[in-house]
Structure 1
Amino acid sequence: MNPIYDFIQRNRVLAKIEKAHSTKAPNLAIDDFDLTTFPEILLNCHELHSLNIGHNKISVLPLDLGNLKNIQHLSLEYNRIDKFPEVIKELQHLKSLNLCNNPIQDLTCVIGSLKSLEILWCNNCCLTSLPPEIGNLKKLDTFGARHNKINKLPNDICNLENLKWLTLEDNIISIIPKDFEKLQMLVHLNLNKNNLSYIPNCFSQMKNLKYLHMQSNELFTINEMMMVNITHVKINLLKNPISTSNELDKLFPNIILPGKENQVFDELSSDSDSSSDDWENSIDSSDLNYSATESESDDEECLIEIPKLSKYLVTF
């Protein structure tokens, strides 16, 4: 990296952190600064509620991360973290956590200690399974684990009684847990690009389920008797090896069958209760809101402070 560029980037980060500390700011975004280590001086910002330190090159979090005891929203996406940071368990007020695009292979049992967690994103990690302790997250509302290699879900996931949005797209799941119908609050379920060969009967017992994505699975047939009990759900079955007929279209207008791609857009325009965010594939990364952290003018103000702050450059 260019030494001058490196110097400016590091001092800009320092200036932003110093300003957040002096003003007791609740939000801080220091994403995309090519950081290789977590800035230790950041641990002095005890008033922070939201921290976005994504799009860097950080591989390890400090053991004193618990000093940020008021953190509720933490984004670590696009870093180089290869193990679930156990120190995160110290953040007992954490409501949303974004670990997307880190080479994490295992969430470990520690995840179950984050009892306040409402949003968890771990898309495009290297997960092959989910720990049973995931079922301890009773307040979880949104869970995303797209683009992994998960082949089986623990039955404990059925304990997430407040879960409304679940996306497991692009994994290798072939079986749904037997107690899945316990997820009675679930509204949006994305199982696109998995290895499912059937639509589980338990889906018909989930009365709040509104959108079911099962595109690009291995469905050859549809159980019509079961489908009669699931007409309240819009189901996307595109790119499955299903033999379709006009009669099937008439019987189940809530299903988007192979060869009916245009019907997706028709549904969006005709249904006032649905939105594109609901019906389209669930988002690839986080839905965390880090707006109002700093404006462009804040960056400019920080740059003015670089000369007198440069003495701190060696601190991280």
Structure 2
Amino acid sequence: MNTNEYEKIYEEVLDLEERDSFFLLLEKLNYHPITYKIEEGKIVQIGLTDLHVRKIPHFLFELKNLKRIFIHNSEIVEFPQESNNLGSLEYFSCVKCSLEKIPSFIFNHHKLKSLIVAHNQIEEISNSICNLINLQTLNLSWNLIQSLPESIGNLINLKELNLAVNNLKELPKEFLKLKSIEYINISTNKLTCLPKNFGNLHKLRKFASQFNFLNFLPNTFSQLSSLEICILNDNEIENLPKNLENLKSLAKLKLDNNKLQTIPSSISSLNNLEILSLNQNNLKNLPIFFGDLLKLRTLCLSNNYICELPISITKLRNIFY
């Protein structure tokens, strides 16, 4: 069914109340790619899956109380003008829809809290993203993005940012203005370094940067006192910052397949560390007081050059190698 056929059916039910017309519309459709959710008698959510039209039918965006839109696996090229009237919109997800850019109408919806446009063909992010001052979740993974606009620093309420599987070569210094950020995934890009003051992201709890080309971590990295999970597998890191003792919340650290030659003795001060994976590095030994990691339960050291472990490691009663 093409867009014109949807529109024709809609015209037949136009004079009915919003909810009744929507129900009748669905009944008339031979193919039902549309799901919906009702709260207090109002349609607040619609989902479109495998919608084989290039322009979304306008009536779907005339639902004034719509808060959440889910679009999946649909080749959407054009959104109707009525998209600008969704004053209650809080959540917009458009995944696997061949988008080449974020739909411009999105930047007019200042109440938006979640924007998910993963698995598309987006190459560039508009500076207008700074309009989304209430945005808390931004997922731009699996696209073709080469750089981030400076205006991304205006997203002061952003808590979750997923930029995995893109073509990023660097992060702008404005990135460090994301003071509310708690989760960052920048895995599978072309990054060679992190911003010098990356440690200023004091609320960061989960950080993933696998499959990049990082060869070091900035010294400020150890200032991430809220960091709980850090995944840095498959980079080219040769050394870690010496003052790791400030990472007091760190429970999981993975550095597989890097070029580490030594581990700083300060790692022994990470009292909450439970999982440490250092497979496929160039390590020859571990710090003498390594056994002070009393909460450590998983330790992975395969494919290194370690001939002897420190005696203190016998203190690790819960360890699983």
Residue 77 (structure 1) aligned with residue 95 (structure 2): yes
* Aligned twin of 1:132: 150
SS state of the match for residue 171, structure 1? coil
Identity %: 23
* Aligned twin of 1:227: 244
Question: Which of 247, 259, 262 pairs up with 2:302?
Answer: 259
* Aligned twin of 1:95: 113
CA contact (8 A) 2:33 2:48 kept: no
The 3 A distance-change label for structure 1 pair 12 and 221 is: same
Residue 188 (structure 1) aligned with residue 206 (structure 2): yes
AA paired with 1:259?
S
* TM superposition score normalised by structure 2: 0.71
Q: How far 1:71 moved relative to its partner? A: 1.0
Q: How far 1:86 moved relative to its partner? A: 1.8
AA paired with 1:160?
L
Residue 68 (structure 1) aligned with residue 76 (structure 2): no
Q: Deviations over 1:80-108 (max 9, x none)?
A: 21122222111111100110011110111
The 3 A distance-change label for structure 1 pair 41 and 168 is: same
SS state of the match for residue 58, structure 1? coil
Q: How far 1:52 moved relative to its partner? A: 0.5
Q: How far 1:57 moved relative to its partner? A: 0.9
* Aligned twin of 1:199: 217
Q: Which one is further off, 130-139 or 199-208? A: 199-208
Report the Cα distance in structure 2 between the residues aligned to 1:248 and 1:143, rounded to whole angstroms. Answer: 35
- When Rg is computed on C-alpha atoms for both structures, the one with the higher figure is 2
AA paired with 2:302?
G
* Aligned twin of 2:15: none
Report the Cα distance in structure 1 between the residues aligned to 2:245 and 2:38, rounded to whole angstroms. Answer: 57
Residue 123 (structure 1) aligned with residue 141 (structure 2): yes
AA paired with 2:141?
N
Question: Which of 244, 256, 265 pairs up with 2:283?
Answer: 244
Q: CA RMSD in A?
A: 3.2
Report the number of matched residues: 257
The 3 A distance-change label for structure 1 pair 81 and 251 is: same
Greater share of helix residues, 1 or 2?
Answer: 1
Give unmatched runs, 5+ long, in structure 2: 10-25, 261-281, 305-317
Q: How far 1:35 moved relative to its partner? A: 3.5
Q: How far 1:257 moved relative to its partner? A: 6.0
Q: How far 1:46 moved relative to its partner? A: 1.0
AA paired with 1:227?
L
* TM superposition score normalised by structure 1: 0.72
Q: Deviations over 1:149-202 (max 9, x none)?
A: 000101111111110000000001112112322211100011111110012211
Report the Cα distance in structure 2 between the residues aligned to 1:14 and 1:195, rounded to whole angstroms. Answer: 42
CA contact (8 A) 1:60 1:81 kept: no
CA contact (8 A) 2:226 2:247 kept: no
Structure scoring higher RCO (CA < 8 A, sep ≥ 6) equals 1
Question: Which of 220, 235, 241 pairs up with 1:217?
Answer: 235
Greater share of strand residues, 1 or 2?
Answer: 2
AA paired with 1:244?
L
Give unmatched runs, 5+ long, in structure 1: 262-269, 272-316
Report the Cα distance in structure 1 between the residues aligned to 2:248 and 2:284, rounded to whole angstroms. Answer: 18
AA paired with 1:251?
F
* Aligned twin of 2:129: 111
